[in-house]
Amino acid sequence: MEREESVVVRECETVEEFDACVRLQREAFGLPDLELSPRRHLIVARSAGGFVLGAFAGDRLVGFVLNQVAVRGRAEVIGYSHMMAVAKEYQNRGVGARLKWAQRDRALSEGRRFVRWTWDPMQARNAHFNLNRLGVTVRSYAVNYYGTDYSTATGE
């Protein structure tokens, strides 16, 4: 297995890299295709001012974060972190944190002072990562935000 220092974080730009993001979503989350962000969504987000940062071990995508452009209030342009995924064998090795800090740096370099995202506090690893590693501030909680809780649904 590659050492985490060999993982390089850079922007995803090609159709093949966006397809790798879709495959990684399947692996990391095990969600049905209906719930995945497809290639077109990633391309459009990038074209509209957002970005997709990938963590690459050589040529292999082992993690990514999708940052979309959003508006807070009437005029403040902010980032909206829609999704982050890390390959199972690269989890707990700092790849996710590197992606989130790179996302922060990129947002700040573009003049964004705020990034919003959703995450599931009922999953202990997710809560630990966001609260203890990243130091997020929780402003609200919505039950079953995306409409289907696949972690508790039977037969899914």
Residue 147: the pLDDT is: 76
In the chain, the domains with their CATH numbers are 4-133 (3.40.630.30)
Round to the nearest angstrom and report the end-to-end CA distance of the chain.
32
Return the pLDDT at 143.
79
Both structure tokens of 56: 């690459």
Give 125: exposed, middle or buried? Use CB within 10 Å, 0-12, 13-18, 19+.
Answer: exposed
For residue 62, the model assigns a pLDDT of: 98
As averages over each run of 10 residues, the pLDDT of the chain (156 residues) reads 72 98 94 91 95 97 96 93 93 93 94 84 73 77 72 45
Residues near 114 by Cβ (< 8 Å), separated by ≥ 6?
Answer: 72, 76, 78, 79
